[in-house]
């Protein structure tokens, strides 16, 4: 009997333990905080009633972390007007035309955004006026200046042609701005161009491309001056430098400087030429452009091309800023090159003081571009900033008088940049042919004048006084300097002076008197053995080599003939044209 009872008790214990375990497992699957009672089966006569209460503890609530919101991007400031640069201060207004239709607004489909000046071109060389979109200099590479010497190495004769609407007399040689283009073409591109065979075969050939006032474009070997191909005869005078396409496409953009109404082929216009076979790919702005407010048309300004969007940016002396989507196609393997523009945008402007007899409309300087914003000087002295993607004017600043020089752009950071530019004496001249002209430092973001450096100078109807040249933003030995020249001429006084100013303060660092006035822009030659130097030409035909840090004249080369035109350099060879019908190659050593 005891054995039977013991066995029963063991069985009951096992059942009880199994039941407790099973219900505990089930209870764990229930919501936290529920109570479960386990009662052994009452029908078992040998079971002892056992009451077990299991309570599942309520866990402490866990805080769910609040997601960190994505930070709101801080808008990067873009150029904008302040009180001192509001367009309405001068009654400055614009009108816009797209593909022949006047519109109230514009939004470019693919935005323009230029990089730094160093990133502008895929070609080696100086491919446009002051090289690139920063317009700081017109020299490529470095040179040894240890000997502190200039030596003429070749000379090529140019010619002349009668003036048209530009007045009586003749256009001769190379005039203002007159800068040459210097380019080292890729070997494959040379093979499909109309170069002479020897030029195609010469390794490292650097080609001089020089549009002059005799109506021709010359193509020369930088080292020897020998013609690399036939002249391109267009039959209209060219005062501006023109430009190559920065993508390396063999395209020359240029515009005429005078008009001949009796011959339709010689009426002024801007053009794009194929340097594969001299085909005229496209032309625009032919006088009269019906949208222009100024009668005079000319294209002394140097254009830019935005490679990413295939867009040409070309200011005209008729007061129109042109932007044109080119639809360019180039196949270097076959030499196929076509252009079929499909988005022609024209922006014109006027202000309270602009007119046909004084304070003219018109762009003679070449625009600088920072990101998607163009900075333009013009004949009435109202410098302005244009958003190239909306064609809206962001700010306007009065720099007092006719401005022919191109602004040099200094970029400090993504939100800080400055422009350096000088004006001429024209509308503000007094009865004794005297007046004041200035070099300005302008905030590219707001249009505010940071400082100005002024000189009293003389001017006449035929010889403009003031700052005709574009400035150097100095580096190396010239770090922290901005360098340019003043011209003064009143019939009795013929005077030129090169000045170097502290970029921060505008204070004069050094000044160097020349033998005569200078319209030619200075260029900087950076040395790999010696001193960083400045090259400056003047009205007496003197080409100066100047120590950039001190202003000391190291050497003078007499070329003969007025140097209105500006030089360009590739390593140690400088090219410059004169009004006396010559193109010169000069070595610095």
pLDDT at 64: 58
**Smallest Cα–Cα separation from 349: which of 308, 291, 270, 417?**
291
The mean pLDDT value for 264-277 works out to 97
pLDDT digits (tens, 9 = 90+) for 356-389: 889 999 999 999 999 999 999 999 999 999 999 9
- Assess whether pLDDT exceeds 50 at residue 584: yes
| Cβ neighbour number for residue 23 with a 10 Å cutoff | 15
Please tell me the class of the 87-588 domain: mainly beta
* Distance between CA atoms of residues 519 and 564, nearest Å: 5
Q: What's residue 75's pLDDT?
A: 75
pLDDT value for 462 = 87
Could you read off the pLDDT of 62-118 as tens digits, one per residue?
A: 555 667 677 666 677 899 999 999 999 999 999 999 999 999 999 999 999 999 999
Question: In the prediction, which pLDDT does 504 show?
Answer: 98
Task: Kindly indicate the confidence band of residue 56, based on its pLDDT and cuts at 50, 70 and 90.
Answer: very low
Given a contact cutoff of 8 angstroms between Cβ atoms, the answer to whether 518 and 538 are in contact is yes
- Report whether pLDDT(327) > 70: yes
| Degrees to nearest 5, angle at CA 423 with 398 and 169 | 125
Predicted confidence at residue 17, as pLDDT, reads 39
Say if residue 43's pLDDT is above 50: no
Task: Taking residues 323-333, report their average pLDDT.
Answer: 98
Whether residue 117 contacts residue 133, with contact meaning beta carbons closer than 8 Å, is answered with yes
What's the pLDDT tens digit per position in 297-321?
999 999 999 999 999 999 999 999 9
Model confidence pLDDT, tens digit, residues 208-240: 999 999 999 999 999 999 999 999 999 999 999
Q: Which of 105, 173, 195 is nearest to 390 (CA)?
A: 105
- Looking at 19-23, 278-282, 467-471, 510-514, which range is the least confident one? 19-23
pLDDT value at 331 more than 90:
yes
9 pLDDT tier (thresholds 50, 70, 90): very low
Are 76 and 416 within 8 A, CB to CB?
Answer: no
434-453 pLDDT tens trace: 999 999 999 999 999 999 99
Entry pTM: 0.88
More confident residue, 319 or 58: 319
- Over residues 415-439, the pLDDT tens digits come to 999 999 999 999 999 999 999 999 9
Cα separation, 244 vs 180, whole angstroms: 11
Q: Which two tokens stand for residue 112?
A: 């323009």
Alpha carbons 40 and 63: distance in angstroms, whole number: 41
Q: Please give the pLDDT value at position 166.
A: 87
CA distance 324 to 131: 21
* Average pLDDT score, the chain: 90
Q: Range with the lowest mean pLDDT among 9-13, 172-176, 341-345, 375-379? A: 9-13
Task: Supply 183's token pair.
Answer: 């380019």
> What letter does residue 14 receive in the DSSP assignment?
H
pLDDT of residue 560: 87
What is the model's pLDDT at position 61? 53
Q: Alpha-carbon distance 23 to 147, whole Å? A: 103
Question: What is the per-residue pLDDT for 19?
Answer: 44
Domain residue extents for the chain: 2-55, 87-588
Arithmetic mean of pLDDT, 252-262: 96
Mean pLDDT of 171-179: 96
Whole-angstrom Cα distance, residue 305 to residue 289?
22
Residue 177 confidence (pLDDT) above 70: yes
Q: For position 191, what pLDDT does the model report?
A: 98
């Amino acid at each position: 009997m005891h054995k039977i009872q013991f066995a029963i008790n063991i069985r009951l214990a096992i059942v009880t333990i199994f039941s407790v375990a099973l219900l505990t497992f089930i209870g764990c699957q229930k919501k936290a905080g529920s109570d479960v009672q386990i009662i052994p089966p009452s029908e078992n006569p040998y079971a002892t009633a056992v009451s077990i209460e299991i309570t599942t503890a309520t866990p402490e609530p866990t805080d769910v972390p609040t997601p960190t919101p994505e930070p709101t991007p801080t808008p990067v400031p873009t150029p904008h007007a302040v009180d001192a640069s509001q367009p309405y201060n001068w009654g400055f207004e614009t009108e816009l035309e797209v593909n022949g239709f006047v519109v109230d607004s514009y939004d470019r489909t693919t935005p323009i955004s230029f990089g730094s000046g160093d990133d502008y071109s895929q070609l080696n060389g100086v491919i446009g006026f002051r090289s690139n979109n920063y317009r700081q200099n017109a020299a490529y590479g470095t040179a040894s200046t240890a000997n502190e010497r200039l030596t003429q190495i070749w000379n090529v004769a140019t010619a002349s042609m009668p003036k048209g609407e530009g007045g009586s007399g003749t256009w001769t040689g190379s005039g203002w701005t007159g800068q040459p283009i210097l380019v080292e073409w890729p070997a494959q591109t040379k093979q499909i161009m109309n170069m002479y065979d020897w030029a195609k075969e010469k390794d490292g050939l650097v080609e001089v491309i020089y549009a002059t006032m005799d109506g021709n474009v010359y193509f020369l070997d930088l080292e020897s001056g020998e013609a690399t191909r036939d002249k391109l005869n267009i039959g209209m005078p060219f005062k501006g430098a023109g430009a190559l396409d920065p993508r390396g496409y063999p395209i020359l953009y240029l515009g005429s400087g005078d008009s001949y109404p009796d011959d339709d082929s010689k009426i002024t216009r801007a053009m794009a030429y194929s340097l594969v076979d001299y085909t005229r790919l496209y032309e625009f702005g032919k006088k009269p452009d019906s949208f222009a407010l100024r009668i005079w048309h000319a294209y002394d300004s140097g254009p830019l091309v935005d490679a990413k969007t295939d867009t040409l940016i070309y200011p005209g002396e008729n007061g129109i800023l042109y932007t044109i989507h080119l639809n360019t196609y180039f196949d270097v393997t076959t030499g196929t090159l076509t252009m079929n523009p499909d988005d022609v945008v024209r922006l014109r402007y006027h202000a309270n003081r602009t007119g046909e007899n004084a304070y003219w409309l018109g762009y003679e300087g070449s625009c600088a571009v920072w990101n998607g914003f163009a900075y333009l000087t013009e004949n009435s002295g109202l410098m302005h900033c244009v958003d190239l993607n909306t064609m809206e004017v962001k700010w306007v600043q009065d720099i007092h008088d006719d401005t022919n020089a191109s602004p040099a752009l200094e970029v400090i950071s993504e939100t800080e940049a400055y422009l350096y530019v000088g004006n001429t004496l024209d509308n503000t001249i007094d009865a004794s042919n005297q007046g004041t002209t200035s070099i300005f430092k302008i905030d590219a973001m707001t249009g505010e004048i940071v400082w100005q450096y002024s000189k009293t100078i003389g001017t006449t109807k035929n010889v403009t006084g003031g700052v005709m040249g574009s400035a150097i933003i100095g580096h190396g030995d010239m770090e922290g300097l901005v360098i340019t020249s003043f011209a003064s001429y009143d019939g009795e006084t013929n005077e030129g002076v090169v000045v170097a100013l502290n970029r921060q303060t505008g204070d004069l660092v050094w000044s160097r008197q020349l033998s005569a006035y200078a319209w030619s822009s200075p260029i900087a030659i950076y040395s790999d053995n010696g001193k960083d130097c400045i090259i400056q030409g003047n009205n007496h035909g003197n080409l100066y080599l100047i120590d950039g840090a001190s202003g000391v004249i190291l050497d003078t080369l007499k070329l003969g003939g007025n140097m209105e035109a500006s030089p360009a350099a590739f390593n140690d060879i400088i090219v410059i044209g004169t009004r006396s019908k010559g193109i010169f190659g000069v070595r610095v050593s």
